[in-house]
Amino acid sequence: MVNCCGLVSEKNVPVPLKSISVQLHVRDHVASVHSSLQYVNEEDRPLEAMFVFPLPADAAICHFSAKIGEQEIVAEVQDKESARDQYDDAVSSGQQAFLLEESDESSDVFRLSVGCLSPGQNASITIVYVIELSIQVDHALRFCLPAVLNPRYTPAASAASVPEVSSACVIPYTLSLSVDVRSSDRISRLESSCPLDPLEFLDAQHTHAMVNLSAGHRFDKDVELLLYYENTHRSTAVVEAGAAAAQSGSLMGDPALMISLYPEFPAEVMSSLASQREFVFLVDRSGSMSWKMHHGKGAQKRIESARDTLLLLLKSLPMGCYFNIYGFGSCFECFFPQSVVYSEVTMEEALRRVKSMSADMGGTEILQPLKHIYSQPCYPDHPRQLFVFTDGEVWNTKEVLDLVKSQTFSHRCFSFGIGEGASTALVTGMAREGSGHAQFITGTDRMQPKVMQSLRFALQPAVDDISVDWTVPEGVMVDMLSPPISALFQGQRALIYAQIKGQSSGETEGAVTVKYRLKDQPVTNQLQFTLKPKEDTGLTIHRLAARSVIRSLELQEQAGRASGVENIRSRIVELSVQAGVSSVHTAFISVNKDSKQTVKGPLLQRRVPTGLMFGGSAAYGAPMPINCIVFGAPMNMCGMAAPGALGSARRARPPAYSSAQFKRSKQPTVEPEPRMDPLLRLVSLQKAAGCWELNAALADVFGKTEDEVTNHRPAQVDGSVWATVLALIWLRAYKLDQRVEWQFVAMKAASWVRSQKPDGLSQCVCEGNMLLGSQVTEDALGI
């Protein structure tokens, strides 16, 4: 382990990165981020530094400049190979140069090369990127400034190409962050995982506000901001004027349009969620899942939170579905040879296995279990819903996403990033390519509400035959830039980018109509908008639109044939240079050609670490074996490749698995666990059909004795009906704030009660309220 952080010299001198200053400008649902990094060369010789750092996968870098002394040089976007050649030539000739490029392995990691800093010289690096803000389960808009680049599991075949990043326990640079929010809607509040100064409103309508990160933040974790508007789920349209200097007819020269749509599904369709599904849960069991969810008091381990979430999921599944659970690390296991029908027997068997799940499977090899899952035949009329839980970072992200994309017509993928530093490229990419939805669980977030929101999406019927039509004045055309919409969910945003061509003689109004079929029923949603451009948007919409087109072209390139790949690559480079945004084939390059003093002497090459979470690579030693058995095959060994410094060690690739093979680890000794949360205790007692039994364990959840509960039961009411009604009353009376978590448990319970057609329900509810000290109405219980 590296003890001294940063650019470590022969004399253990700290890194020359001294501070990071970030200005965040939010405009409705998008953000522009200005980051300035202050360097100083404290060596007595010229220095070339390497800084590997994370950015959100969907970010579009649109500016890069360097200020050395009083002289500022602004970088330009060039073809990556050309930029690398120019950088090498400049450095070898003693000129100051800077190179910013996206990692070849993952779109959320960038590498900054700082070339030829003279002894004692200061340099200020400015990076600007734009990004869409994601929407959370509580309707908040989320922005995350990544500080943590977790150790990424690297298959042995690609280990040599991975940039090395040292772990650090103390980050030797400071962070300042200021946030400016302007919205067409009223701002309710702004929250953060880190301490903030008080929010300051700058107008009477509360549509403009500012806030700063409190001083002293150590930047040892991601900075997460949650922004709440009064009407977050309102469809909107923003038209942005083109760049004056750009050619008319080009993407940057014409006005750009961003549509934020929130489809409203008919109530009669949403009243009955589909039960005929196959649910496959793929859970990361690598060593880092033993880390805490956050640094606060009472934090659960990630694997513990995953176990609680699986309990809730298993109890929430509808009767008539199929399910299976996989755990993965350096190898993988599945609970059943193939997905099984959901019943009391299979649910209890799965719960028994869930209780013994540990973070004991080494590295993060997600590709092999995915291949095994996709090799399993789907059940007719039971569309597959894949839930993926991981805290991991992998360096074969693009290979994983290609696999998910290849199976897009056979399943939907819902992904969850757990803990600080989970790969946005992996998590959002899997959901995007799998027509699903991505969630991130960071800080003190509870995993359960976010997962249950995704379960609600998974139970929604799939939307088919999605089409987008435009109604605009004569003389105007709309060229849609976004890829075709592949998934729509009730209450979830869908973004559309478009280019407006031509001019209208007088009319300024347009409309977009989204049509689709839902359970064979045609549905139409329409949004009116004005063609008049919005002022002072700084080309943010254009750059995000360009990024959307570039990403689509990159996916086409990966899937394309050799004959067409070169043309696609040329289009990517052309658009990237035109829009001034990053891509996999371009880089930002700046060379100070006007420097009067040529740098002489040998260059020192150093690497700057990003902040890793405490207990990074130091928590693990050499790879250790765990025993795995193959059903119907001799015992085998698979290596546990623990997280560590990137590229610091080769890890053995586990053997390839055929569709008929999977691994199951021996049952570990289960340590005594702390007393379960009352809600989870109640849920754990529910039967697969939805009812509860009248017993002492249930009474204990209510804080009563079994005799107290039994004596209040109306004579004509069955014990299970009485127990189930009590459970529903208790949930409504005392856990209403966690309704998102127990909504499907309650739906199953109410449906079961109705199926029993019991007498005396009104008296049952009345007696239940008296016993539990509540006032819940019969109508509220849905029985």
Q: What is the 3-state secondary structure (H, E, C) of 552-584?
A: HHHHHHHHCCHHHHHHHHHHHHHHHHHHCCCCC
β-strands 322-328, 278-284 pairing: parallel
Residue type at position 545: A
Q: What is the pLDDT of residues 13-25, one digit of tens each?
A: 444 577 888 999 9
The owner of tokens 């809730």 is 312
Lowest mean pLDDT among 233-237, 410-414, 691-695, 770-774: 233-237
Question: Which of 387, 270, 365, 375 is CA-nearest to residue 321?
Answer: 387
Query: What is the reported pLDDT for 481?
Result: 92
Lowest mean pLDDT among 6-10, 609-613, 616-620, 664-668: 616-620
Strand partners, 469: 513
Residue 365 in tokens = 């090899």
Secondary structure E strands in 674-742: none
φ/ψ of residue 574, rounded to 5 = -60, -50
Distance, in Å, from the CA atom of 382 to the CA atom of 341, rounded to the nearest integer, reads: 11
What residues contact 751, with CB distance under 8 A and at least 6 apart? Answer: 690
661, 630 Cβ separation under 8 angstroms? yes
Please tell me which residue, 720 or 672, carries the higher pLDDT value.
720
β-strands 494-502, 256-261 pairing: antiparallel
Distance, in Å, from the CA atom of 46 to the CA atom of 95, rounded to the nearest integer, reads: 11
Q: What is the pLDDT of residues 128-186, one digit of tens each?
A: 999 988 877 678 888 888 765 444 444 444 443 434 333 333 455 678 899 999 988 89
Mean of per-residue pLDDT scores for the chain: 79
Query: What is the reported pLDDT for 129?
Result: 92
Q: Is the pLDDT of residue 604 over 60?
A: no
Query: What is the reported pLDDT for 269?
Result: 66
Query: What is the reported pLDDT for 174?
Result: 75
User: The pTM is what?
Assistant: 0.69
Q: Is the pLDDT of residue 516 over 70?
A: yes
Segment 265-270 shows an average pLDDT of 71
Q: What is the pLDDT of residues 61-106, one digit of tens each?
A: 899 888 877 778 889 999 999 999 998 998 888 888 888 888 776 6
Distance, in Å, from the CA atom of 423 to the CA atom of 109, rounded to the nearest integer, reads: 9
φ/ψ of residue 179, rounded to 5 = -125, 125
The owner of tokens 């990556």 is 80
Segment 272-285 shows an average pLDDT of 84
Query: What is the reported pLDDT for 748?
Result: 93
Residue 244: pLDDT band (50, 70, 90) is confident
Query: What is the reported pLDDT for 316?
Result: 93
Query: What is the reported pLDDT for 500?
Result: 93
Q: What is the pLDDT of residues 344-383, one digit of tens each?
A: 999 999 999 999 999 998 888 899 999 999 999 998 888 8
Residue 561: pLDDT band (50, 70, 90) is low
Q: Mind giving me the DSSP string for 326-394? A: EEESSSEEESSSS-EE--HHHHHHHHHHHHT--S-S-S---HHHHHHHHHSPPBTTB-EEEEEEE---B
Please tell me which residue, 642 or 504, carries the higher pLDDT value.
504
Task: Estimate the crossing angle of helix 739-756 against helix 302-316, to 10 degrees.
Answer: 30
Query: What is the reported pLDDT for 231?
Result: 79
Q: How many CB atoms lie within 10 A of CB 759?
A: 13
648, 151 Cβ separation under 8 angstroms? no
Distance, in Å, from the CA atom of 288 to the CA atom of 419, rounded to the nearest integer, reads: 10
Q: What is the pLDDT of residues 459-469, one digit of tens each?
A: 887 787 888 99
* 3-state DSSP assignment of residue 708: helix
Residue 655: pLDDT band (50, 70, 90) is very low
Q: What is the pLDDT of residues 463-501, one digit of tens each?
A: 878 889 999 998 899 999 988 887 777 777 888 999 999
Distance, in Å, from the CA atom of 118 to the CA atom of 196, rounded to the nearest integer, reads: 37
Segment 225-234 shows an average pLDDT of 85
Q: How far is CA 299 from the centre of its chain?
A: 21
Segment 607-623 shows an average pLDDT of 34
Cα angle: 658, vertex 422, 15; to 5 degrees: 125
Lowest mean pLDDT among 109-113, 284-288, 382-386: 109-113
Lowest mean pLDDT among 308-312, 410-414, 521-525, 595-599: 595-599
Distance, in Å, from the CA atom of 347 to the CA atom of 141, rounded to the nearest integer, reads: 36
Domains of the chain in start order, with CATH, are 17-152+172-230+581-597 (2.60.40.1730), 236-269+463-576 (2.60.40), 274-459+628-665 (3.40.50.410), 678-781 (no CATH)
145, 178 Cβ separation under 8 angstroms? no
Query: What is the reported pLDDT for 137?
Result: 67
Query: What is the reported pLDDT for 410?
Result: 82
What residues contact 766, with CB distance under 8 A and at least 6 apart? Answer: none
**β-sheet with 521-530: strand ranges across:** 463-471, 509-518, 521-530
What proportion of the chain, given as a percentage, has pLDDT over 70? 79
Q: What is the pLDDT of residues 663-699, one digit of tens each?
A: 443 444 444 455 678 999 999 999 999 999 999 999 9
Q: Is the pLDDT of residue 648 over 70?
A: no
Query: What is the reported pLDDT for 25?
Result: 94
Question: Which of 139, 105, 137, 225 is CA-nearest to residue 416?
Answer: 137
Query: What is the reported pLDDT for 276?
Result: 81
Q: How many CB atoms lie within 10 A of CB 289?
A: 28
Residue 560: pLDDT band (50, 70, 90) is low
**β-sheet with 223-229: strand ranges across:** 134-135, 141-145, 223-229, 187-192
Distance, in Å, from the CA atom of 221 to the CA atom of 420, rounded to the nearest integer, reads: 6
Distance, in Å, from the CA atom of 62 to the CA atom of 77, rounded to the nearest integer, reads: 9
Distance, in Å, from the CA atom of 424 to the CA atom of 390, rounded to the nearest integer, reads: 11
Question: Which of 379, 452, 387 is CA-nearest to residue 413?
Answer: 387
Q: What is the pLDDT of residues 314-348, one digit of tens each?
A: 999 998 899 999 999 989 999 999 999 999 999 99
Residue 745: pLDDT band (50, 70, 90) is very high
